[in-house]
Structure 1
Amino acid sequence: DRFGVYADIDAGVDRKYKLEFINNGIDRHFDPRNSIIYGIPWAIDNKDPNSHDLTTIKIAEEILGQSGKLSGQLFGSPEITDESFDPHILTKGKAFFCRFVMIRNILKNSLTLCDSIFPNYVSPIMKKGYLGDLALESKIYSSITGNRVSMDELDKQAEGVLNLQRAITIREWQTKNMRGKLTDIDNLSPTGKTLRGHDNLAGHLFNRPKKFKWLDKTHIIPQLSRKKYEEAKSMFYKEMGWDYNGAPTESTLKKFKLEYVAAELKAKKPSYLSIKNDKVVIVNAGETWGK
């Protein structure tokens, strides 16, 4: 007979310890169904895009009792945090904020800054309207290194890193089509098709609503709309200066002095692995690349 810890192990760890705040992956960790602003970084990034940006502003606004006020003052787009707007639709203001968040994530990782504190969206000082200082990263960098750079200059350097990361992803995936396409290879999808590609999210986010059990057990968040999500990707690509399939255009790379990257991507013919006559073969994708 099993006893003590061995009985627990024998019962199966996942079944025995089905905890509310772990073992749920993306569903608990900034679920894209809560906001498209979470959904874009989850698809675009190559790692967990852990970011407290949206959460920080929303919590501050809840404390102040003024939904959308801080995001409206900081970015001119109250719909970023105002829950009266559809959270699954990406507006121009939300697209700008997604880009801003991903750029500042590069800075946080490069400068080893706290994810919860930076960017400095919020201040406890009433006479400042509780607004923080978005230039704080550049001020810290300038003070420590003696190399004086403005907020815009530092953001541009970080955006160059973001585009370089994107180009490396394209090279490693051997395709400039980061958007993906519908395929028949996943029988788990209700439609018999699923979207395969880098810039994609888990299928259940489009098939199942979210039962929000933490603060309100009765609150249900609808599943994502594939149509809205693809439209959101298109808007974000445009905001980044990328083409329809999510690849940085030649002019965008040159903007960040990445001419050598542009030349390599232009020269390299993307390919992918396929099965033909029970053998693995390399197929030339024959893709074009936007200027």
Structure 2
Amino acid sequence: KSAFTVPEQFFYTSMGGSWGAHLKFAGYDGVVVHGKSEKPVYLLVQDGKAELRGASALWGKDAAEVNSLLKSELGSSARVLSTGPAGENLVTFATTLADEDAAAWGAAIMGSKKLKAIAVRGNGVRPPAANPEKLEALVKYLRESWHGAGAGATLSHIPSLSKKKMICYGCPTGCVRTNVETNGGIKIKVCCQAAGFYEPAAGAYYGKLTDVPLHASRLCQNYGLDTHVMASILIWLEDGHNAGVLTEENTGLPLSKFGSWEFIETLVKKISLREGFGDTLAQGVPQAADSIGGKARELITDYLDKNGQRMAYGPRLYNACGIFYATEPRMTLPTLHEMTIPILGWKEWVKGAEGAYMSYDLLQEIGRRFWGSELAFDCSTYDGKAITAKKIQDKIRAEECLILCAFFYPLRACDYTDTHEGDPAIESKLYSAVTGNETDEEGLNRIGERVFNLERAVLTREDPRGKKVDEIPEFNFTVPIEGEHLNPELLAPGKDGEPISKKGTVVDREKFSQMLSEYYELRGWDSSGLQTKQKLAELDLGDIAQDLAQRGLTE
């Protein structure tokens, strides 16, 4: 469970890098940790065995140092996932760090168990595929026709320093994920939001590009703080300082130096160590604002999701994303990206950008072949969005079960062919080749549907309100949207692909409710969102249906 979700409940997370592959090489598909240790420990998994070792000497150290020390002890073939001081001190949005700077949620859970790290060491031998010839042919097809992952934000805000691609295990060519060495000799992974969360503040303070945003990102990774939440904290602190609500005296933060290295270093350490006002911020912005009260809460306008992260790709611009934010336990970028990345590609095509090819005809084709509706990307209507959201969630769950990269899959469109035609069946072909269980696209997506329903059942069981409540923050219905980070013009495809601006729009409450009701029907749930015994039985989840029925949580 996560202390950061609202309410506190089940959540899941994922990361890139190579740690997961080496866990498999060590003889295991997963690790389940029960109970709590009295003293700090780390778990060593190797050659089909697992043992707990003392980690008192590692307690208090940052995650990067822990990883380095354990690799020195265990050898370079070991892969280490660890928590920094934020996780030790149960900061609700604390993150873990693994090899290749792979970060994920869950560090506070490890900290609560006094589990400092999980080290895995295997023989490096991959398990054999059931059909190696078929797998080899598919790999050749992927390498020759698709080349590699290309998604991710551009790195225009990164100074020209030493850069090297940081390629995750098994990837053909890599993506935007890059290892950068600063002028000060510090190496840091830069990838999308984490690399630039402090850039606007630092740019305003210094008046030029500096290494400070990179050092800020490195500091958050080492101490273990989620940068999406840190971005929200920065907005609130700046607004509070400008409004006179938050001062250097009542926060102990150098707010007059907002954007400087001194400021972000002080902020990260105070939150991670839960010192002074950092202890308040360690719960997230909503809780911090509630603790102060008054105008501090009023400063939170239209940028937080229900868990206190900065809301990205919201439903005022992308209609279908409202279902993702309402039904998921947290912001899930892989699902959000299936709506937003194609539309951002279309925006570039509309503007006539060199190499852009994402026409509205192609968007319609993706919607029809992948998501069940040619209206999937028409942002002027709520029609077609319920089936789109369901199919996206099911497919992404199946891909996550297969440990497939969300920057590469699904193969919705190809950069390297004349037709740019995608391939919605490639995941099922890979699954069949590796496991020997012949499964088509529909069958694999049904596995994803089963996983999603199992997750829904857990969320329903644990919700203190008596059932899973599907809602989005109120501001989406009341505060007109004025801009979006990657789409400041708020340009989107309307009817028949006509470009429209959604500036000044809000979510239509009635149409959102109708869309959600249609979604429930497509899911086979009742009109209030409760799962039905019939649907759960169809998905071979009869035991889950029985448990929910005993709790009065199914129809």
Give yes or no for TM over 0.5.
yes
* Offset at residue 144 of structure 1 (A): 2.4
Following superposition, which runs of at least 4 residues in structure 1 exceed 3 angstroms of deviation? 12-17, 23-28, 59-62, 174-178, 213-219
Structure 2: any 5+ residue segments left out of the alignment? 1-211, 213-247, 264-284, 286-302, 350-355, 491-500
Instruction: Give the match's secondary structure for 1:244.
Output: coil
Q: Which has the larger radius of gyration?
A: 2
Q: Residue 77 of structure 1: which of 373, 379, 386 is its match?
A: 373
Alignment of 1:81-120 (within 5 A): 81-83=377-379, 85-86=380-381, 89=382, 91=383, 93-120=384-411
1:35 counterpart residue number: 318
Query: Cα RMSD over matched residues?
Result: 3.1
Q: Residue 201 of structure 1: which of 460, 469, 472 is its match?
A: 472
Instruction: Give the match's secondary structure for 2:422.
Output: coil
Contact 1:68 1:79 in 2 (8 A): no
TM-score by length of 1: 0.71
* Offset at residue 13 of structure 1 (A): 7.9
Amino acid at match of 1:11: L
Change (3 A) 1:65 1:259: closer
Identity %: 23
Amino acid at match of 1:235: E
Instruction: Give the match's secondary structure for 1:33.
Output: coil
CA distance in 2, matches of 1:141, 1:14: 50
1:54 counterpart residue number: 339
1:171 counterpart residue number: 461
Tell me, yes or no, if structure 1 residue 256 matches structure 2 residue 546. Answer: no
CA deviations over 1:7-38 (Å, ceiling 9, x no partner): 89421787989xxxxx9445651111112211
Change (3 A) 1:268 1:177: closer
CA distance in 1, matches of 2:329, 2:488: 32
Change (3 A) 1:161 1:174: same
Amino acid at match of 2:386: A
Q: Residue 134 of structure 1: which of 401, 424, 442 is its match?
A: 424
CA deviations over 1:211-260 (Å, ceiling 9, x no partner): 11655469624111221111111011011111011111111001011111
Q: Residue 224 of structure 1: which of 469, 484, 507 is its match?
A: 507
* Offset at residue 146 of structure 1 (A): 2.9
1:11 counterpart residue number: 255
Instruction: Give the match's secondary structure for 1:132.
Output: strand
CA distance in 1, matches of 2:437, 2:257: 53
Amino acid at match of 2:390: R
CA distance in 1, matches of 2:257, 2:409: 37
Structure 1: any 5+ residue segments left out of the alignment? 18-22, 179-197, 271-288
CA deviations over 1:159-212 (Å, ceiling 9, x no partner): 11111111111111256643xxxxxxxxxxxxxxxxxxx200111111101111
CA distance in 2, matches of 1:240, 1:252: 8
CA distance in 1, matches of 2:484, 2:391: 31
CA distance in 1, matches of 2:484, 2:510: 27
CA distance in 2, matches of 1:140, 1:53: 21
Contact 2:318 2:339 in 1 (8 A): no
Structure with the larger RCO, 1 or 2 (CA within 8 Å, 6+ apart): 1
1:144 counterpart residue number: 434
Tell me, yes or no, if structure 1 residue 210 matches structure 2 residue 481. Answer: yes
Alignment of 1:259-274 (within 5 A): 259-269=542-552
CA distance in 2, matches of 1:213, 1:239: 30
Contact 1:104 1:155 in 2 (8 A): yes
CA distance in 2, matches of 1:222, 1:149: 43
CA distance in 2, matches of 1:14, 1:34: 30
Contact 1:205 1:224 in 2 (8 A): yes
CA distance in 2, matches of 1:168, 1:259: 14
Amino acid at match of 2:357: L
Amino acid at match of 2:339: L
Change (3 A) 1:152 1:246: same
Contact 1:37 1:98 in 2 (8 A): yes
Q: Residue 67 of structure 1: which of 340, 344, 360 is its match?
A: 360
CA distance in 2, matches of 1:213, 1:236: 26
Change (3 A) 1:176 1:69: farther
Instruction: Give the match's secondary structure for 1:210.
Output: coil
Contact 2:394 2:452 in 1 (8 A): yes
* Offset at residue 98 of structure 1 (A): 0.6
**How many pairs does the alignment contain?**
238
